[in-house]
Amino acid sequence: MNQSPLTHPKADDTSLQSNRELRSGLSAWLTKIIYPIGNYLVIPGFFREIEIIGREYIPHTGAVILAPTHRARWDPLLIPYAVGPYVTGRSSRYMVSSDEMTGVQGWFVRRLGGFAVDTNKPSISSIRHSVELLHQGEMLTIFPEGNIFRDGTLHPLKKGLARIAMQAEALKPGLDLKIIPISFNYEHPEPKFRDRVSIQICKPLQVQAYQQFSTKVGAEKLHQDLTRSLENSIKL
């Protein structure tokens, strides 16, 4: 059997040490301030119209990976608005590019559920932490394109999301992990004041259905289906 990066014995000590540095959480006092401001003032104040399609696909409990396209810096703010505490009663954790985790911004992101990852070469600790969050029944947001793209087309997805999902389900059979593709469609490539935005939430991909294949084959099939779902949502 091939060893996964989650169980590689030589990486154990450094992984656990890095994992302590990757602690992610939600600050109770900060979320009580930020969520209402974003939900009732910032988002509806900036956008003229916000269309949200497919909210019924978001489960209120259980392990979930949200897999959105990345079109603007507004995306992480619109996720709580579309599927967050005032809709599902739950908050998402975020896998965030390490270069976005510095300074004041990093301070806020870490206290609002974010943790750093090198998008080009994810560390064992970031993979392990993602799996731990899913095993705790959390909702985790991973932008599979890795960066912001404003040209209106889907760019090649990073394969780490599918691998994390397959590992999480394999290590905890019956987890019933779901991946939910989401696409953001803004009126302008760089959203302007009083623009319209459409958020398309797609039918979940059931990770358990891919466990019948080997980890490598299942992850590739899951990656392809996620790509296809996001491509179709962009065309809507």
Per the prediction, the chain carries an average pLDDT of 90
Q: How many CA atoms lie within 13 A of 230 on its CB side?
A: 27
- Is residue 187 in a domain? yes
Type of residue numbered 138: E
**Would you call 222 helix, strand, or coil by DSSP?**
helix
- Is residue 30 in a domain? yes
Which residue intervals of 73-159 are DSSP H helices? 75-83, 103-111, 124-135
The yes-or-no verdict on residue 184 having pLDDT over 60 is yes
Phi, psi of 96, deg, nearest 5:
-120, 140
- Is residue 59 in a domain? yes
Rounded distance between C-alpha atoms, residue 19 and residue 133, angstroms: 12
- Is residue 86 in a domain? yes
> pLDDT grade, residue 17 (50/70/90)?
very low
Task: Using alpha carbons, list the distances in angstroms from residue 142 to 37, 94, 108, 116.
Answer: 24, 6, 18, 11
The yes-or-no verdict on residue 59 having pLDDT over 70 is yes
- Is residue 227 in a domain? yes
Task: Provide the domain limits for residue 207.
Answer: 24-235
Q: What is the CATH number of the domain that holds 54?
A: 3.40.1130.10
Q: Quick one: pLDDT at residue 23?
A: 66
E strands, 69-177, in order: 92-97, 114-117, 139-141
Type of residue numbered 233: S
Task: Using alpha carbons, list the distances in angstroms from residue 141 to 61, 67, 79, 235.
Answer: 15, 6, 9, 22
- Is residue 165 in a domain? yes
> pLDDT grade, residue 122 (50/70/90)?
confident
Q: Quick one: pLDDT at residue 118?
A: 86
The yes-or-no verdict on residue 4 having pLDDT over 80 is no
**Which residues sit opposite 96 in a β-bridge?**
116
Tell me the per-residue pLDDT of 214-236, one tens digit each, with 9 for 90 and over.
999 999 999 999 999 999 998 76
> pLDDT grade, residue 119 (50/70/90)?
confident
Rounded distance between C-alpha atoms, residue 123 and residue 139, angstroms: 20
Size of the chain in residues: 236
Q: How many CA atoms lie within 13 A of 229 on its CB side?
A: 23
Q: Quick one: pLDDT at residue 21?
A: 52
Tell me the mean pLDDT in the region 182-203: 97
> pLDDT grade, residue 25 (50/70/90)?
confident
**Would you call 60 helix, strand, or coil by DSSP?**
coil
**Would you call 87 helix, strand, or coil by DSSP?**
coil
pTM to 2 decimal places:
0.89
Count of domains forming the chain: 1
- Is residue 11 in a domain? no
- Is residue 5 in a domain? no
